[in-house]
A = this chain, B = another copy of it.
Amino acid sequence: MTRLAILGPGLLGGSIALAARRAGGFHVAAWARRPEAVAEMKKGNFADVASSDLGAVVKGADLVVLCVPIGAMGKLAQQIVPLLESHAIVTDVGSVKGPVVEELRAIFAKSGRFVGSHPMAGSEQTGLAAARTELFDGAVCIVTPDEHTDPGAVVAVHEFWQALGARALELSPSEHDDIVALISHFPHLLAATLVNVVGQKNAAAFDFSGPGFRDTTRVASGPPAMWTEILHSNRAAVRASAEAMIEKLREIITLLDHDAPMTEFLTQAKARRDLLRQSKTPHA
């Protein structure tokens, strides 16, 4: 039985709790700062123990998962360090890894073995009410050890995400941040920008939109404060993606009068996008 402690159960923490209970072999303890969140966890039977007492939840844990916003990770980590047993493994679900891993590695140098994680399975929805048992099924979870990370802890964190239904893949923290800027952070900013460009040019246009526009802009409904923090924390890579996009758009505008190269451009995009559809299969 693995003693699992989940700190900060919103969409991700709540889904981890549900998926761990489905997997079996876990004693699930969950901590939330707000009493209402604890009551909601108890009501939804998310965990074996739900409490706002950090000590009660963390004590004796084999694996601790930090599920608070990235700006709140450091402070929470400082609080749990004195409570951890020496064998405990700590991971997080932060969307940016470079600065988070650097900060948490230093804190957990004193106690616990830290490995960063980032499950690519969010949603524009937030909070415990949006949590789902199958959120991680077939999703990629990026595990981000660096040269200081305990190899046994890396294996354990891989196995943990696989038990929850995810496919664990490994990148260094900086590789992670570059890649995730391209496929998540910048696309979020792009979707929000598209919505605001439409709003600025002709707000009546929204009334005519179809399922394509809804899908293209879905992520723009995500929580603004959380995304501001993510974009800021990974701003160099996001800026590089945005500049590459601007350059490519400038080039593509010139193809609007040239059908053959435009078809070639769209064919290349379709071929790449069609591969994604195939990779949707769980555990593929």
- Do A259 and B228 touch across chains, with their CB atoms under 8 A apart? yes
Contacts of A220 in B (CB 8 A): 266, 269-270, 272-273
Which stretch of A46-54, A59-67, A82-90, A192-200 is in the interface? A192-200
Complex Cα spacing A201 to B175, Å: 13
**Identity of the chain B residue whose Cβ is nearest the Cβ of A258 in the assembled complex:** B232
Which stretch of A25-33, A147-155, A275-283 is in the interface? A275-283
Complex Cα spacing A185 to B136, Å: 33
Knowing A179-B202, A182-B202, the reply to whether A208 touches B272 (Cβ < 8 A) is no
Complex Cα spacing A122 to B216, Å: 14
- Does A204 lie at the interface of the complex (its beta carbon under 8 Å from any beta carbon of B)? yes
Q: List which A226-269 residues lie within 8 A (CB) of chain B.
A: 227-229, 231-232, 235, 238-239, 241-246, 248-250, 252-253, 256-257, 259, 262-263, 265-269
Contacts of A202 in B (CB 8 A): 178-179, 182
Complex Cα spacing A155 to B239, Å: 50
Complex Cα spacing A156 to B257, Å: 37
- Do A212 and B273 touch across chains, with their CB atoms under 8 A apart? no
- Does A205 lie at the interface of the complex (its beta carbon under 8 Å from any beta carbon of B)? yes
Contacts of A267 in B (CB 8 A): 224
- Do B208 and A120 touch across chains, with their CB atoms under 8 A apart? yes
- Does A74 lie at the interface of the complex (its beta carbon under 8 Å from any beta carbon of B)? no
- Do A215 and B216 touch across chains, with their CB atoms under 8 A apart? yes
Complex Cα spacing A17 to B261, Å: 35
- Do B215 and A219 touch across chains, with their CB atoms under 8 A apart? yes
From the candidates B187, B195, B270, B279, name the one contacting A273 in the complex (CB within 8 A).
Answer: B195
- Does A218 lie at the interface of the complex (its beta carbon under 8 Å from any beta carbon of B)? yes
- Do B183 and A275 touch across chains, with their CB atoms under 8 A apart? no
- Do B210 and A122 touch across chains, with their CB atoms under 8 A apart? yes
What are the interface flags for A153-194 relative to B under an 8 Å C-beta threshold, 1 for contact and 0 otherwise? 000000000000000010100000011101110011111111
- Do A270 and B224 touch across chains, with their CB atoms under 8 A apart? yes
- Does A101 lie at the interface of the complex (its beta carbon under 8 Å from any beta carbon of B)? no
- Do B253 and A249 touch across chains, with their CB atoms under 8 A apart? no
Q: Which residues of A contact B (CB under 8 A)?
A: 120-123, 139-140, 142, 169, 171, 178-180, 182-184, 187-225, 227-229, 231-232, 235, 238-239, 241-246, 248-250, 252-253, 256-257, 259, 262-263, 265-270, 272-277, 279-280
